[in-house]
Structure 1
């Protein structure tokens, strides 16, 4: 297998990982998962929200703060927001107990996990994805003070830490969807394991796992269209090809087994300099919308509520985590892809200002998106260690 892995960021992450992890991707001896809950109280924000720019009529506030490395989100039946992390190894539960849309209690549901980025909720149970394993916490909302030991429902995903963190969600078919990132910046990893660079799905008990899509370097966000039920997902393309290439991707899966290009083609039109000669871009499904190069598009959602103006139902909302390997930074915002049916007709910012263009310093990096029942939008931020809530009053 030919591998060109120049992602120096992974070296830094490995060196600075929690003490419970070693750089070979295995737990140190005697370090086990803990589900002991710890309760804290959120405080007033010191984040400079006045630097953020939103369309007229929209407002952004802090929903929860003090959640170190807050990433993927899932909402429980009783209003508990579950939040995964990556290098922190922790899963949080936050509660708004008085209905003011500000979380006032925070619990640590699990700790010492291997990059538990992914969280999903179904039938009273919390599902958590670590690098190679999936856990199920039954009746979790009744046990926030003292969660029981989780059930291990799957333990056979690759153990590679490079793109090993997983976003998970249940689809309209009641299957649990789990991606497997490529273990490299650029490589044909499927020669080692067909599951690399794919999206898989399985039954809630971990059985009947299957690959449904190929050629996906590193998706950290997907959702289902509220009208068609089709899977839409973001993908982060390779690094080290320059500031402005290749583009990121917003994709749409219409048939099981489709291939979206990695490592041969990026953004539907850009042949890879190392692998592009092996297969043409015409062999693959192009993105619905090429996104900015290196913006690191993660969470994606459609508006299914009744708070935002009706016109926003024709948009896909995307959390752009922001670049790390570009001469001037891009991303660090929530963007919109305007759709006409299944065709993209526009790509524009919705919220920006987390990045100071002059200093190139950022006080936040959006990760995941979640619409609440009242139609407001939650945004997680793993640098600001916060969850924001966006509302509209016209």
Structure 2
């Protein structure tokens, strides 16, 4: 859901464009950050969707009329929905002015630029907005981690982080032990949306859209622009749900999803909509689970070693359907319903005919419609109170085209065996009305038991600690 295009490139810019009203541009900047930045980038540089900052346009001249039409109606064949049901005409016009050539220059010159600063200061001061259970605190562990996505933490505490459009892999290092990163080192750049990172036998594996690469002895070499070896280079390179996480399982194999190359389509007999695994050298490619639209998070239960994963439900079925999912696959070969059944209970209007949702494995927890659950982690440390141990935390990236935004938080799913007991909010406040200060992506547990959370919207890593009375 979150990978569809909220705007679109429109053609080679040749026509002059009238300067937009300065008074409305700060609000347009906020609209853009809240609704478009997750796909087109905070600075319009592009992410899963193309750049809006260069001079290349694909769908006509960037006049206000043409931009407004495309924003309102979308480009369904490109995966971009229309926004006319979510934004009003004035908001669409303001966005059209903002993304047009020269639109941001007027923002910089606007006498009311202090309103635009509110967006930035809201990101800088976002911690004050956040709420956590009593006894917990949150701090910024690292900044300037552009489009931070998946994380992997080495036994020595180095945090390796993938990214989206930035095309970089980072090492986030706390050299002096003060529990705040001292430096963010770029290990590699120029990669193709390398969102997935994992550690196995001292090597860092990185998943790009079409391949997996490996950096050996990474803790020793991260600062020296290390060379990499290509492990596998024949993964599907579709852009829609084409980004790939990667996780090392307890069996010593590497697990990689291949998402659906569409909103909803039947590719059940192809490589898509499945979780796969392979040996560390790229051999032994085999299917693990089927019927999965777009998972961007795996974790294994610390005790049972069962595979748990999130899945993002389809768009274009209304604000309240279907629910995104938390699933468990205790054995290989299970089918979780996509594209025939969504959320365990909603038959697909096109592909569900002649099938029953009872044929498929239902989710353990229905997390809510369009909340975009991404990374997850079982709490395996000892710093948090005992009731959190072996329970699963889920990063909800947040909706992008729902009329009323939802998600933008970290949830706690309390389990009894493989059954949901409750789902509650653990961290809230990244969303205030329509203002977004952060979008949680992945969760990792540090060696000292602190929780780390990546945020690709703010380009930060947060650190959550328990400071209450651990004796209770």
TM-score by length of 1: 0.89
Asked if the contact 2:4/2:49 (under 8 Å) is kept, the reply is: no
Deviates more, 1:293-302 or 1:308-317: 308-317
1:32-47 aligned at under 5 Å gives the runs 46-47=124-125
Secondary structure class of the residue paired with 2:387: helix
Secondary structure class of the residue paired with 1:275: coil
Pick one of 155, 171, 176 that aligns with 1:98: 176
**Residue number in structure 1 paired with 2:328:** 252
- Write the deviation string for residues 211-235 of structure 1: whole angstroms up to 9, x where unpaired: 1100000000010011111000000
Report how far residue 257 of structure 1 moved: 0.6
Change (3 A) 1:10 1:85: farther
Deviates more, 1:307-316 or 1:52-61: 307-316
CA RMSD, 1 decimal: 1.9
**Residue number in structure 2 paired with 1:15:** 50
Report how far residue 340 of structure 1 moved: 1.5
TM-score by length of 2: 0.74
The question of 1:372 aligning with 2:446 is answered: yes
1:25-174 aligned at under 5 Å gives the runs 46-174=124-252
More strand by share: 1
1:317-332 aligned at under 5 Å gives the runs 317-332=393-408
Pick one of 275, 291, 301 that aligns with 1:225: 301
Secondary structure class of the residue paired with 1:144: helix
- Write the deviation string for residues 13-34 of structure 1: whole angstroms up to 9, x where unpaired: 4321898x999xxxxxxxxxxx
More helix by share: 2
Report how far residue 80 of structure 1 moved: 1.6
Structure 2: give runs of 5+ residues left out of the alignment: 9-39, 41-47, 59-122
**Residue number in structure 2 paired with 1:205:** 281
Change (3 A) 1:250 1:138: same
Secondary structure class of the residue paired with 1:387: strand
Secondary structure class of the residue paired with 2:50: helix
1:308-323 aligned at under 5 Å gives the runs 308-313=384-389, 315-323=391-399
Secondary structure class of the residue paired with 2:190: coil
**Residue number in structure 2 paired with 1:26:** none
Structure 1: give runs of 5+ residues left out of the alignment: 1-5, 24-44
Asked if the contact 2:302/2:390 (under 8 Å) is kept, the reply is: no
